[in-house]
A and B are shown apart, each in its own frame.
Chain A
Amino acid sequence: MIYSYYPGCTLKTKAKELDRYARRSAEALGITLNELPEWQCCGGAYTTAQDEIATKLASVRALAAAEQEGGELVTLCSACHNVLKRVNHDLLTDGEFAGKVNRYMNPEQPYGGKTKVVHYLELLRDTVGFDELAKKVVKPFTGKKIAAYYGCLLLRPGKVLAMDDPENPVIMEDFIRAIGGDPVIYPYRNECCGGYVTLEDQALAVKKSSAVMESAEGFGAELLITACPLCLYNLNKTDGFGTEVHYFTELLAEALGVKD
């Protein structure tokens, strides 16, 4: 199984672990991730304004390149995933937007949103299968209470991302079960960590992230997992909590015995 892969800016710098363990685990699962030869930063945030075109073109280039390579593009960072999937959705459903984009970029092949954007977790669920993944686990997290932190960008808006139920998701909990852990369900798992506002108002981000940590610990979490570098950063800026925060790919690689 060969897929195009879009790592994004942060996975090349501050979130190398998220990327490295995803690649190693994919290899162990028989999946080839081919990094797109030329990709640009997605911009971190999808702009909802309908007259914004230029801010979405980097995503269009990645999506169009993936179409040429086989048509399925794997993402990992929650922000990249959100931006790429939504821009793709616009191209597929908004003819006026797609027309403007293609007239401006003037590609050999017009791009109309045919690439399928797949989050790494979706790849595990839908292609590998969590049951099959469980069979390949050599070092299970038996008895470990693990809390999944979805945050906001991975699931919302649910109609466009169409990954899981945005209010009662199960994909990360099913992943935790597959690697032998015990998922902790807690109220703040899909509430915001404070996001990019941490840059100019860190107190707000710490307040939001503390609420998440408190909620997870209150329900007995020993470990918290995320797919988002910014969530990890904000959660780690909190004070007074003992729960470690890791990328889900670190646990995956460890469970598969390919971490080091």
Chain B
Amino acid sequence: MDRETNRVREQVLRMSGVNVLKCMRCGKCSGTCPSYEEMDYHPHEFVYMVEKGEIDKLMASESVYKCLTCFACVERCPRGVEPAKLIEAVRLEMVRKQGQNRLKPDRIPALLDEELPQQAIVTAMRKYTK
């Protein structure tokens, strides 16, 4: 693992507070994930790929933007690994970079309809933007 990869890995682990070594690979997190079919990398893969330092692949994938933050994997993990916290940390590591905001305010008007609650916009801004 080179120095930069190691730095990102340490940062993701520290930010998330997740202990990847607790994972026993049961796959329950991915089994319960509502976005499973939309993801290239699934919650259990985030756990072992962060462990191995393969974070660049995760950061480059759409999967980081598919987590609905429903906390199903957090609640249902029998080992308390809580993969959603890792996905959040990887996404932040991505969007915190200069120019990497996923959702820019000028894109929003085109995405609105009459009923869309403000809650959806503020949540998306918080998830996709720094």
Asked if A162 CB lies within 8 Å of chain B CBs, one says no
Known: A195-B68, A233-B115. Is A45-B89 also a contact (CB below 8 A)? no
The stretch from A47-55, A134-142, A176-184 touching chain B is: A47-55
Chain A residues with CB under 8 A of B123: 43-45, 79, 195-196, 230
Do A199 and B89 have beta carbons less than 8 Å apart?
no
Question: Known contacts being A50-B16, A51-B14, is A14 close to B69, with CB within 8 Å?
Answer: no
B16 touches A10 (CB 8 A): no
Q: Are A156 and B68 in contact (CB under 8 A)?
A: no
Chain A residue nearest to B116 (CB atoms) is: A233
Chain B 106-120 near chain A by CB (<8 Å), digits 1 or 0: 000001000111111
Interface code A73-86, partner B: CB below 8 Å = 1, 0 otherwise?
00001010000000
- The residues of B that contact A151 with a CB separation of less than 8 Å are 70
- How close is A67's CB to chain B, nearest CB, in angstroms? 24
- Interface of chain A residues 1 through 54 with chain B (CB within 8 A): 8-10, 13-15, 41, 43-45, 47-52
Question: Which chain A residues border B71 with CB–CB below 8 Å?
Answer: 152-153, 156-157
For B, the interface residue count at a CB cutoff of 8 angstroms equals 35
Other-chain contact of B34, A8, A45, A47, A194 (Cβ < 8 Å): A194
Q: Out of B14, B75, B88, B121, which one reaches A47, CB within 8 Å? A: B88
Closest to A194 in B: B68
B26 adjacent to chain A (CB < 8 Å): no
Tell whether A122 is near chain B: CB-to-CB under 8 Å. Answer: no
**B56 at the binding interface (Cβ < 8 Å):** no
CA distance A15 to B75 in the complex (A): 28
Contact B75 A198 (CB under 8 A): no
Contact for A156 among B17, B72, B88, CB less than 8 A: B72
A236 touches B70 (CB 8 A): no
Complex Cα–Cα for A236 and B115 (A): 10
Are A199 and B70 within 8 A (Cβ)? no
User: How near does chain A come to B19, taking the closest CB pair, in angstroms?
Assistant: 13
The SS class assigned to the B binding surface is helix
Q: Are A49 and B89 in contact (CB under 8 A)?
A: yes
A164 within 8 A of B: no
- CB contact between A49 and one of B75, B88, B103 (< 8 Å): that residue: B88
Which residues of B41-79 have CB atoms within 8 Å of chain A's CB atoms?
65-66, 68-72, 74-75
Q: Does any Cβ of B come within 8 Å of A229's Cβ? A: yes
Cβ of A173 < 8 Å from any Cβ of B? no
Q: Are B124 and A196 interface neighbours, CB within 8 A?
A: yes
Known A-B contacts A156-B75, A157-B75, A208-B34; A192 and B68 likewise in contact (beta carbons under 8 Å)? yes
Residues in B whose Cβ lies below 8 Å from that of A195: 68-70, 120, 123
Cβ contacts under 8 Å, A10 to chain B: 117-119
CA distance A156 to B74 in the complex (A): 8
Interface status of A191 (Cβ within 8 A of chain B) = yes
In this assembly, does A170 line the interface, its C-beta being within 8 Å of a C-beta of chain B?
Answer: no
Interchain CB contact under 8 A, A50 and B15? yes
- Interface positions of B from 80 to 128, Cβ below 8 Å from A: 84-85, 88-89, 92, 103, 111, 115-124, 126-127
Could you say which residues of chain A place their CB within 8 Å of the CB of B92?
A: 47, 49, 52
Can you list 8 A-B contacts (CB < 8 A)?
Answer: A15-B117, A43-B122, A48-B89, A50-B15, A152-B69, A191-B72, A197-B65, A199-B116
